[in-house]
Amino acid sequence: MITRRQEEHSIKEKNRVRTMPRIQRTCAAILRNLVRAAALLTGGVLVFLVGYILIKGIPHLNWDLFAWEYNSTNVSLMPALINTLLMVLISVLISLPLGVGAAIYLVEYTGKGNKLVGLIRLTAETLTGIPSIVYGLFGMLFFVNWVNWKLSLLSGACTLAIMVLPTIMRTTEEALKSVPDSFREGSFGLGAGRLRTVFKIVLPSAVPGILAGVILAIGRIVGESAALIYTAGTVAEVPASLLDSARTLSVHMYVLSSEGLYINQTYATAVVLLVIVVGINTLSAFLARKISNKSIG
């Protein structure tokens, strides 16, 4: 079978052989090299950025950085790492049921053209576009001051849960929509109610898609700093309770780099952050491949 790309390639070759005005040929060559240069630049920037951080950071990775205690002589990133895990866990725990529930309502319970559905879509889109600093400020005004949770893990997690809610909603919606209607009809035909159909038939088939959304959300939570500084605060300890302040790894890295005293440790922290991000990306790419394989098979 000839793929589209191969076909295009053979056409390109034929074009090149075919005699055509020189000006047209140079024009084509210029455009071709222009797009190549742009792609090379994009790839080059990534390689340079990641390479630079790795080369500068890896020599400074040592066990002291992973000590249990953070203090001014040893700026350990361990508490921040644990806080990041806690933050991810709590935010996802809050956001996942809400996002999945909302998606189920949108896909399984409503028809097209419903006014409420339009409003829900519009607000979800609005939430997607709001910058993280505005979330941070809202979290500070609402969770920290009004609900009076103070600077705490819980305030931060709730703020981030709202921030990633549209991501989880959208990916779950896509996943639910990709489940064939014949599955639902078969289930209804066997006498199952709507609720049972959703939980026993539709949701299990949509799990990889939902997981991909959750991983995307985790990536955002791990990388977030602006929304956390004034909601979760910057205390570099593992919190004793949900209502204690806790800095995550990204916030930790920001504090280190703005203090400017621990440049080597900052590089090393950046390496750890990059490794986590690459891991998350690989996982989501793996899941995406699994989904596309399934839809073909």
Residues 96-135 that bind other proteins (CB under 8 A): 97-102, 104-106, 108-109, 116, 119-120, 122-127, 129-135
Cβ proximity to other proteins, 31 vs 207, nearer residue? 31
Tell me the two tokens of residue 217. Answer: 């959300």
- The residue among 108, 283, 288, 128 whose CA lies nearest residue 198 is 108
Place of tokens 């996002």: 99
Shortest distance, position 29 Cβ to other proteins, whole Å: 8
- The residue among 161, 197, 192, 160 whose CA lies nearest residue 176 is 197
Binding segment toward other proteins, per CB under 8 A, in 42-50, 149-157, 182-190, 201-209: 42-50
Q: Write the DSSP symbol of residue 3.
A: -
**CB-based burial of residue 25 (10 Å sphere; 0-12 exposed, 13-18 middle, 19+ buried)?**
middle
Q: Residue 275 interacts with other proteins (CB under 8 A)?
A: no
Please give the Cα distance from 290 to 235 (Å, whole number).
Answer: 40
**CB-based burial of residue 291 (10 Å sphere; 0-12 exposed, 13-18 middle, 19+ buried)?**
middle
Please answer whether residues 165 and 95 qualify as being in contact, where contact means their C-beta atoms are separated by less than 8 angstroms.
yes
Binding pattern for the stretch 21-40 against other proteins, x by CB under 8 A and - elsewhere: ---xx-xx--xx-xxxxxx-
Residues 129-168 that bind other proteins (CB under 8 A): 129-138, 140-142, 146, 162, 165-166
Cβ proximity to other proteins, 69 vs 85, nearer residue? 85
Residues 251-270 that bind other proteins (CB under 8 A): 253-254, 257-258, 263, 266, 270
Residues 171-210 that bind other proteins (CB under 8 A): 193-195
Cβ proximity to other proteins, 82 vs 274, nearer residue? 274
Binding segment toward other proteins, per CB under 8 A, in 51-59, 67-75, 206-214, 238-246: 51-59
Place of tokens 């409003």: 119
